[in-house]
Structure 1
Amino acid sequence: MHNPCALIPVYNHEAAVPAVVHRLLDSGLPCLLVDDGSSPACATVLARLASLDNVSLLTLPTNQGKGAAVMAGFREAARLGFSHALQVDADGQHDLREVTTFLDASRTHPEALICGYPEYDDSVPKGRLYARYLTHVWVWINSLSLQIRDSMCGFRIYPLAPVLALMDSANIGKRMDFDSDILVRLAWRSQPMRWLPTQVHYPTDGLSHFRMVRDNLLISSMHTRLFFGMLVRAPMILWRRWQA
């Protein structure tokens, strides 16, 4: 069965999210919005969007972080009967013209996680671009593989069954550490992944919730946890790959 929806975590992106929702609806995807404790102004916009056909809204009582919002959305998407979820950021940085290409790949390979690896234009902040390369190295070390081309791009189609199984048995990062954490842990479980290029643009008037000190500390702590988790799992991971 392949019954996908778009999953959009939202925290105070009331200016950008309506265009994102309408583009996804035009692509034929039902939308699930997750309000991660947004302001009253944003909540009003989300309630208005939820009145549209094929749009659902899950409201979290307080801000819990991007990862927590996405994971709450995974559970809600499964409850609503969807089999796959396309994770999309609410700020408009993803090129939604590529939704059809990602959906086609997911239909052809429904067992696989379809991941975008970003192709940036000149709008990308240079500090964040360079910091990604350090994360790439740690992810390759912690996954014992070079298969993860980019672990921080949040434009992905997740098959819900293996993701929910992982969520039920692991403590996954709940904030900006989520995107890398879940990919490494799925790689440990030999989750099939397929990679497609995706254009990424940072709007000049966009609202970013990335906090340089707090989130870099979270990401560093995540890499440390994953490293020691990899050491424990390394014999089994390598045994599975040798048998494959």
Structure 2
Amino acid sequence: MTKRSDHLVVIPAYNEAATVAAVTGRVHDLAPFCDVLVVNDGSTDATATRAREAGATVLELPFNLGIGGAVQAGFVYAKENGYRYMVQVDGDGQHDPSEIETLQGVMDSDPALDMVCGSRFLVPGEYLAPISRRTGIHVFAFLLSRIVGQRVTDPTSGFRLYNRRAIELFATDYPHDYPEVEAVLMLHTQRLRMAEVPVRMFERGGGRSSISTGKSFYYMIKVLLAIFVGMLRRRAVPRPGDPAPVAAEHGI
């Protein structure tokens, strides 16, 4: 791909042939200032073909790494190709690319922000996940809000905008198994800052969620353990000549 923009939209996709072309097309139509990279995470269907036909650059992974590995591949690509901003958009059609400008507006309003997350839950009643999953999300939100010292409402959202500092952090180290919750904690331990903004989200347009109802309890326990392990991470210490660390607390 010839770099045309400072913004890269990364779409991690595993067997999303039913939706990836439509998602790519909507990004081109609604966020034409962005380059589009589809990370094909070892799909066994026509995901890569559909993405290329829709005009995306496709990064092929040799086998399925899971969502964390696919997203980190996007961070590495963004870092190596000099993008200032990276937007994570799911390949299943849940995210509205027109809201990318909303995320960017929040980041532009506060240059100290390193990540802006689109939240389904800042507008009550707008999005109803299955109750088992919703319970887990609210538990994670409660814990993270107290750990990081700011309100977090949608810690599992995969619709996120990152600046160059966050790109460089996550290109080096990114959680690989159900990573979104841990990424919020990582950002805090490295003294980077985040905010949330209300966005519209839709039901999946196709494919299958990696977190089925039967896996929800396993997912919750695994992520809770990851949160407590993540709390033991050493906080970043600035070296001589580095910019002073920014406090993690930020009002939403």
Q: Above 0.5 in TM-score?
A: yes
1:42 Cα offset (Å): 2.0
Distance in 2 between residues matched to 1:212 and 1:160, nearest whole Å: 36
Distance in 1 between residues matched to 2:18 and 2:229, nearest whole Å: 41
Distance in 2 between residues matched to 1:65 and 1:226, nearest whole Å: 19
Aligned AA (1:36): D
| Residue in structure 2 matched with residue 156 of structure 1 by the alignment | 160
Aligned AA (1:150): D
Aligned AA (1:165): L
Aligned AA (1:76): Y
SS at structure 1 position matched to 2:199: strand
| Residue in structure 1 matched with residue 119 of structure 2 by the alignment | 117
Using structure 1 for the length normalisation, give the TM-score.
Answer: 0.81
Distance in 1 between residues matched to 2:148 and 2:17, nearest whole Å: 40
Which consecutive unaligned segments of at least 5 residues does structure 1 have? none
Residue 144 of structure 2, aligned match among 139, 145, 161: 139
1:78 Cα offset (Å): 1.8
| Residue in structure 2 matched with residue 98 of structure 1 by the alignment | 99
Distance in 2 between residues matched to 1:215 and 1:163, nearest whole Å: 29
Normalized per residue, the structure richer in helix is 1
Which consecutive unaligned segments of at least 5 residues does structure 2 have? 238-245
SS at structure 1 position matched to 2:209: coil
State the Cα deviation string for residues 189-234 of structure 1 (Å, max 9, x = none): 2212122101122147553222445564355234224324425659
| Residue in structure 1 matched with residue 196 of structure 2 by the alignment | 195
CA RMSD of aligned residues (A): 2.9
Q: What percent identity do the matched residue pairs reach?
A: 27
1:123 Cα offset (Å): 5.4
Q: Identify which range, 113-122 or 210-219, moves more after superposition.
A: 210-219
Distance in 1 between residues matched to 2:87 and 2:204, nearest whole Å: 21
Aligned AA (2:159): F
Q: Is the 8 A contact 1:32 1:58 kept in 2?
A: yes
Aligned AA (1:217): Y
Q: In the superposition, relative to structure 1, how do residues 122 and 231 fare at CA in structure 2: closer, same or farther (>3 Å)?
A: closer
Distance in 2 between residues matched to 1:85 and 1:94, nearest whole Å: 15
| Residue in structure 2 matched with residue 42 of structure 1 by the alignment | 47
SS at structure 2 position matched to 1:191: coil
Using structure 2 for the length normalisation, give the TM-score.
Answer: 0.79
Distance in 2 between residues matched to 1:89 and 1:197, nearest whole Å: 17
1:56 Cα offset (Å): 1.8
SS at structure 1 position matched to 2:120: strand
Q: In the superposition, relative to structure 1, how do residues 80 and 12 fare at CA in structure 2: closer, same or farther (>3 Å)?
A: same
Runs of 4+ in 1 over 4 A off after TM superposition: 212-216, 231-234
SS at structure 2 position matched to 1:77: helix
Q: Is the 8 A contact 1:123 1:203 kept in 2?
A: no
1:46 Cα offset (Å): 2.5
Answering whether residue 166 of structure 2 is matched by residue 165 of structure 1, we say no
Residues 79-90 of structure 1: matches in 2 within 5 Å? 79-90=80-91
Aligned AA (1:3): D
